Amino acid sequence: MRNIDHFIGGAAYASGERTSDVFDPNNGVVQAQVRLGTAADLQKAMDNALKAQPAWAATNPQRRARVMFNFKALVEQNMDELAHLLSSEHGKVIADAKGDIQRGLEVIEFSCGIPHALKGEYTQGAGPGIDVFSMRQPLGVVAGITPFNFPGMIPMWMFGVAIACGNAFILKPSERDPSVPVRLAQLMQEAGLPDGILQVVNGDKEMVDAILDHEDIKAVSFVGSSDIAHYVYKRGVAAGKRVQAMGGAKNHGIVMPDADLDQVVNDLSGAAFGSAGERCMALPVVVPVGDKTANALREKLIPAIEKLRVGVSTDAEAHYGPVVNAAHKQKVENYIQMGVDEGAELVVDGRGFTLQGHEKGFFVGPTLFDHVKPTMQSYQEEIFGPVLQIVRADSFEEAVRLPSDHQYGNGVAIFTRNGHAAREFAARVNVGMVGINVPIPVPVAYHTFGGWKRSAYGDINQHGMEGVRFWTKTKTVTQRWPDGSVTGENAFVIPTMG
């Protein structure tokens, strides 16, 4: 059985009595064991990071950017290998796996421009002979804890910006699909990154707690489910760290009566079911405004859903592959049963789906519910599977209220031809990222990513200039250079070392 080691000090590090199974979701078999590290393993990484970080911070930003340029080229050269590795542990189809890596690479591209982003502010003549300037300095050693669903993109969101800013970064990826993060760290080393600046410690809660409690880790970025995000936020802040902790989601797509329904159905096929619904920016709730819109949408959705092809992740024709593991498949199917028990109408049932030759794979067929009510638990909670729920709204006002009142506030979309309705919606909805006729409004890398309410704890978002702010601290210098003409007791004397 293959072991997945840590990547510490520029080399594989095989430590850890405990291990966790990494599955091949297409076949339901264990394909590797990942080591679950301890506080002692983290300390080994910390020793390297603390030693290496000052010289990296002192390396000029253009040289740091050059490593990012090299890394980008290496990832592009190795795209096929990375996408297959990602897909083999996660289960998303190859095209989605490439998209996962590509969206992360866009943050690396942003990081290639770090010299520009780190330029501070300057005021000449803030007072007589006085100038004020600010500089952004790295925090030191920082850490990221990432979820299973984007094992390429989310680590790159974090370490791309953090490392370009001059920090040493310790990554604790999901134990469910840790191979791509380890491979990315190897490629960063190949790109010229000094040993100790990017290290990967594998593990579970024990490693997360060790990170949160370590006094030399200055900031922690977390992405995962909301209860754990909240826990990480509280424990990290209590330990004096800067923490951003992104959580779960339940994104709504509002369909106005004037929307192009064919376009909406096409968009929903990707946004609700793509990657088996395991995306924090998926669109698992659709809110048609008015029964006429709802009936017309439903009529078009059913045949589109029935046409979706579920297949193994290497099937180039497949729309989506298996979910990540058996426990998650069970959880999704339990939510489908909950919806039935709560009285929602199950229009298309994806339970019990099997793929010939892959009977043990973790597949869930596409599922559609209609007449879902806001009081239902299956609506209020995140399912994170290929399940689309229709919640009918009577009016635009109700359509604004539904996502605004929901516990999660990651993303939302409105489909309409009416600019005024779209503009009002974007201004009023209580959600962090809004799409107007864009089903998955993940902002580009030079803007910033972050939800509201239980979808994010902490104030500063991922990537873009917010990322630079998160991974640096600002120092402001007020300077005066006397001309030497002042004499007597007002004379400026340069202190000398005795």
**Which active-site residues does the annotation give?**
280
Size of the residue set binding ligand NAD (CB under 6 A): 26
Residue 179 near residue 170, CB atoms below 8 Å: no
Interface with ligand NAD, residue 208, by CB under 6 A: yes
CB-wise, 408 or 425, nearer to ligand NAD? 408
Span of 172-180, 259-267, 352-360, 475-483 interacting with ligand NAD by CB under 6 A: 172-180
Q: How far is the CB of 450 from ligand NAD (least distance, A)?
A: 7
287 close to 250: Cβ distance less than 8 angstroms: no
Radius of gyration, alpha carbons of the chain: 25
Are 318 and 422 in contact, with CB atoms under 8 Å apart?
Answer: no
User: Does 246 engage in binding with ligand NAD (CB under 6 A)?
Assistant: yes
If the CB atoms of residues 6 and 172 are measured against ligand NAD, the closer one turns out to be 172
Distance separating alpha carbons of residues 61 and 166, to the nearest angstrom: 8
Instruction: Output 64 or 98, the one with its CB closest to ligand NAD.
Output: 98
283 in contact with ligand NAD (CB under 6 A)? no
Q: Work out which of 110, 150, 369, 396 binds ligand NAD, going by CB under 6 A.
A: 150
Helix axis angle, 153-164 to 179-190, nearest 10°: 30
Q: Which is nearer to ligand NAD, 140 or 247 (CB)?
A: 247
- CB proximity list for 304: less than 8 A, separation 6 or greater: 265, 266, 268, 269
Tokens of 66: 């050059």
The answer to whether 174 contacts ligand NAD (rule: CB under 6 A) is yes
For the CB of residue 314, give the shortest distance to ligand NAD in the complex, in Å.
Answer: 23
* Shortest distance in whole angstroms from residue 39 CB to ligand NAD: 14
Burial class (CB in 10 A: 0-12, 13-18, 19+), 273: buried
Give yes or no for residue 16 binding ligand NAD (CB under 6 A): no
The answer to whether the beta carbons of residues 48 and 28 sit under 8 Å apart is: no
Cβ-based neighbours of 65, under 8 Å, separated by 6 or more: 111, 112, 113, 114, 115, 164
User: Is residue 313 at the binding interface for ligand NAD, with CB under 6 A as the rule?
Assistant: no
Query: Is residue 118 near ligand NAD by the rule CB under 6 A?
Result: no
Contact with ligand NAD (CB under 6 A): which of 61, 339, 451, 467?
451
Single-letter amino acid code for the residue at 224: G
**How crowded is the C-beta side of 268, counted as CA atoms within 13 Å?**
33
Distance CA 275, CA 28 (A): 17
Q: Applying CB under 6 A, which of residues 38, 251, 313, 455 lies at the interface with ligand NAD? A: 455
Closest distance of CB 204 from ligand NAD, Å: 5
Q: What are phi and psi of 367, to 5 degrees?
A: -130, 140
Please state, in angstroms and rounded to a whole number, the distance separating the CA atoms of residues 296 and 239: 54
Which CB sits closer to ligand NAD, 150 or 273? 150
38 near ligand NAD (CB under 6 A) = no
Q: Does 384 bind ligand NAD (CB under 6 A)?
A: yes
Select from 177, 171, 170 the least CA-distant residue to 4.
177
Applying CB under 6 A, which of residues 225, 266, 314, 404 lies at the interface with ligand NAD? 225
Binds ligand NAD by CB under 6 A, chosen from 7, 56, 71, 148: 148
φ and ψ at residue 439, rounded to 5 degrees? -75, -35
Nearest residue (CB) to ligand NAD, 247 versus 439: 247
Binding of ligand NAD by 410 (CB under 6 A): yes
Q: Which amino acid is at 249?
A: A
Residue 240: other Cβ atoms inside 10 A: 9
Rule CB under 6 A: is residue 274 a binding residue for ligand NAD? Answer: no
Q: Out of 47, 131, 204, 381, which residue is the one contacting ligand NAD (CB under 6 A)? A: 204
Q: Which residues bind ligand NAD (CB under 6 A)?
A: 145-150, 172, 174-175, 204-205, 208, 223-225, 228, 246-249, 280, 382, 384, 410, 451, 455
